[in-house]
Amino acid sequence: MKHGPGFLRRLLEHLEASPLRMTRKRERLLGVLAAADQAISAAVLRDRAGLPPSDLVTVYRTLEAFERVGILQRIPLEESGHLFELTEPHDHHHHFVCRECHRTERLDLCLGKELEARARKLGFTEVRHVMEVYGFCEACRPVPASVD
């Protein structure tokens, strides 16, 4: 996805002010995520960062750390697994997700704020919401079975 100007600089400033310790590996992973034009899986992130297969656990830990400081959003896939994308600090998005190629399109509206307020009124704390829309993108649209 396209990030606004100064995006990476804002994230780095946010990280600097956070308790998160940055390492060379984390910096590399952040750079790959920032350069990605789509939400990507942890395995794709690891490969693009040139890390060995055994580093997948490290990648997941880094993703969890980025998530905790509020610069990363996890997008659940319909069946299993997640895609990950950087966001402006503490921002959040909803997406259309292609169930075949996992292409994502950001939605520029949030449908959950009212529901979160309602949950708080009911006494829930640490409230958050997830809503993604799954379908086939134009390129992956299944060919209808012929009827002859």
Instruction: Using CB under 5 A, pick the residue from 64, 67, 78, 100 that binds Zn ion.
Output: 100
Smallest gap from residue 117 Cβ to Zn ion (A): 12
Instruction: Using CB under 5 A, pick the residue from 35, 57, 133, 140 that binds Zn ion.
Output: 140
By CB under 5 A, tell whether 137 contacts Zn ion: yes
Exposed / middle / buried, residue 29 (Cβ in 10 Å: 0-12, 13-18, 19+): buried
Alpha-carbon separation of residue 112 from 7, 109, 143 (angstroms): 25, 9, 34
Q: Which is nearer to Zn ion, 26 or 103 (CB)?
A: 103
Contact (Cβ atoms closer than 8 angstroms) between residue 139 and residue 101: yes
Interface of this chain with Zn ion, residues 80 to 99, rule: CB under 5 A: 98
Smallest gap from residue 112 Cβ to Zn ion (A): 4
Chain contacts with Zn ion (rule: CB under 5 A) = 98, 100-101, 103, 110, 112, 137, 140
